[in-house]
């Protein structure tokens, strides 16, 4: 094989290997914000939710709704993911520069906004895309 053919073959092999590796990557929580915001994604505007200032209104996304408790993801300052949990009476939220973002709501289990389960010793169950609960 001529040197130029060998280089081309090596380059093609590298491209194929790189594409195979990236296709197996974990989902990215930030892809949530690529889709258009629907009416269900918008946080309530009641006075009891005023403490959520700083969130970018157009980035809120409903992750899950169960038993009157709603779980939202949002961005703070354009790049800090946030997890917001609320019902008709109360809200809890947390933001972080790193994933996972952890919130405990009332006396419930710890919830995570994350791409995947933790590597910790706790057991985690996926409730919805990017929403995990501690068992």
Q: What is the pLDDT of residue 18?
A: 37
In a domain, 128, yes or no: yes
The predicted-structure confidence for 49-80, as pLDDT tens digits, reads as follows 666 677 888 899 999 999 999 999 999 988 89
From the number of C-beta atoms within 10 Å of its C-beta (0-12, 13-18, 19+), residue 31 rates as exposed
List Cβ neighbours of 95 (8 Å cut-off, separation of 6 or more): 76, 80, 81, 82, 83, 101
In a domain, 17, yes or no: no
By residue range, what is the domain housing residue 37?
Answer: 27-134
Q: How many domains does the chain have?
A: 1
Place of tokens 């009157």: 68
In a domain, 127, yes or no: yes
Compute the distance between CA of residue 84 and CA of residue 33 in angstroms, rounded to an integer: 15
In a domain, 18, yes or no: no
In a domain, 6, yes or no: no
The predicted-structure confidence for 86-120, as pLDDT tens digits, reads as follows 998 889 999 999 889 999 999 999 999 998 876 66
In a domain, 88, yes or no: yes
Q: What is the pTM of this model?
A: 0.75
In a domain, 19, yes or no: no
In a domain, 124, yes or no: yes
Q: What is the pLDDT of residue 2?
A: 53
CB atoms within 10 A of CB 115: 17
């Amino acid at each position: 094989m001529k040197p130029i053919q060998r280089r081309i073959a090596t380059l093609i092999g590298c491209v194929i290997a790189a594409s195979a590796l990236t296709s197996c990557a974990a989902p990215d929580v930030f892809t949530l914000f690529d889709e258009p915001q629907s009416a269900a994604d918008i946080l309530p505007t009641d006075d009891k939710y005023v403490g959520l200032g700083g969130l970018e209104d157009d980035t809120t996304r409903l992750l899950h709704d169960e038993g009157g408790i709603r779980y939202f993801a949002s961005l703070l300052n354009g790049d800090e993911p946030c997890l917001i949990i609320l019902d008709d009476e109360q809200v809890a939220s947390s933001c972080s520069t790193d994933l996972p973002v952890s919130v405990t709501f009332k006396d419930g289990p710890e919830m995570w906004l994350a791409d995947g389960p933790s590597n910790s010793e706790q057991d985690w169950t996926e409730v919805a895309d990017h929403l995990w609960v501690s068992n």
